[in-house]
Structures are given as C-alpha cells and as structure tokens.
Amino acid sequence: MIDTAFILCGGKGTRLAPLTNDIPKPLLPIQGKPILEHLIDLLKHYGVKKVILGTGHMGDKIQNYFGDGNVFDVNILYTREKELLGTAGALKLATKYIDGPFFMFNGDNMYGLSLESLFEKHKQTNAEITIALKSVENPSMYGVAELDGEMIVKFLEKPDNPPTNLINAGAYVIEKQILDLIPDGNVSIEREIFPKIAEKKKLFAFRFDNQWFPTDTMDRYKNANEQWKSPF
C-alpha cells in the first residue's frame, strides 16, 4: 500500500468569502471538524502515514493547527508557495519528500472512496496516473473525462454537451517519475501534465460510487455540511 499523500491546500477560497476572510479553506468545518482533518482521517484509515501539505495562502494557520501531525497519528510535512504555482507547480515543491508512488488530493473535497481499491486499479492497468472519477447529474459544471474503456483519452472543461457524466474528483495515484515532467513555475497538472500522460496511454480511470462532496462554493459547502456521513 502507498504510504505517502500530497494534499493541495494553498487556495484562497474567494468564492467562500466571508467564511474564508480569516480561515483558510481547508480549515473550514464540516460537522465540527476541518475539511482537511476529515481527509487525514481517511488517509490514516488506509495506513497512509506520511502526509505532505502544499500550503500557500494562510499556510501558517494550517501548520499551527496540524503541527507535525503527532496528535493526529500521522507525520505531516509542509511545502509553501511564495507565489501561485498551479496544481503541478505546487506538487513539484514536494519532490524531496516523495520516494515512490503517492496519492494526491484536492484539500477542499470530502471523500469516502476506498484508497485500497484506487491503488489496486492503478497497479492493474500499469498506469502512470490514475484519476478517481465520480458520476454526477450535471457534469457540465466540471472537467469531464472522455474514456476508451478504462483509459482516459482527454478531459473537456465544462463542456456544453458532455460525452459522459464522469468528472475528475480531485483524487489521484501518481508515479514518482511524473515529477520529472513538471517544469519550474506555474504549471497545471490538469491542463499540462495529464494530456502528456494520456498521449502515452498511461492515464487511467478509477470510477467510484462512494461519497464525494466538493466545497468550493457556498452552496456546495452547505450541501457537504448537511449530507456528509462518516465512512468509518
């Protein structure tokens, strides 16, 4: 099983203002516990004990809350964006902490998926990146995956006529060598790295039916607070 995870925690959460005026988005509570703590609970449940938090905006508040992770029974390491580097640029900063395949997550989502099943799918397909895909009623609001079997051919960002209802849920298994493909500076993993892996036919899907709640808008945050059920 993978023992390392990288979590994107650097966003400003402007669409959640005024809630995020003084609190970084990953620390907003869902049913009394920060979003990010729910995710760390999920990782711990599946034996993932090395957690790298990619911080930026109000990163000191995230670090003050979680510290070295000892209280949460995990080992927490930190990176800090001094300027916005994008999803892949932020990941690149964590290279020194990563020595094998790893999980990557958006730090503002609530997940109930099986990390064990996600990793098994990754191994079965010999993928370089495996992306968790969730079926939603209105996929045109998200990045939609176009598939050939289980292989992801491409993503369409907020399409008018989605070819499927499967969207990127912001949870991945990534092989370490992918870090070598990320140039310095502001880089998007979705727009600049995924297409390169898709061209190699090494980008695969993991479809899941478990809970998934994004929290990036006020309506989605309120829905997550009302609907979330602990998977443990």
Domain boundaries, the chain: 4-131+169-183+210-227
How does 117-138 read in b/e, with b if 16+ C-beta sit within 10 Å? ebbebbeebebbbbbbbbebee
Q: Determine what percent of the chain is predicted with pLDDT higher than 90.
A: 88
Contact at 8 Å (CB) between 76 and 70?
Answer: no
Q: Which CATH number is 4-131+169-183+210-227's, of 3.40.1210.10, 3.90.1660.10, 3.90.550.10, 3.20.20.60?
A: 3.90.550.10
Which DSSP string do the residues of 71-117 spell out, in sequence order? GGTSEEEEEE-SS--HHHHHHHTTGGG--S-EEEEETTEEE---HHH
Q: What is the pLDDT of residues 75-133, one digit of tens each?
A: 999 999 999 999 999 999 999 999 999 999 999 999 999 999 999 999 999 999 999 99
Q: Which residues contact 132 (CB under 8 A, 6 or more apart)?
A: 113, 118, 168, 169, 170, 171, 172, 206, 208
Helix %, strand %, coil % of the chain (to 5): 35, 30, 35
Closest alpha carbon to 107 in 43, 177, 47: 43
pLDDT of 141 above 90: no
Model pLDDT for residues 41-78, shown as the tens digit of each residue = 999 999 999 999 999 999 999 999 999 999 999 999 99
**pTM for the full predicted model:** 0.96
The residues that are catalytic are: 158
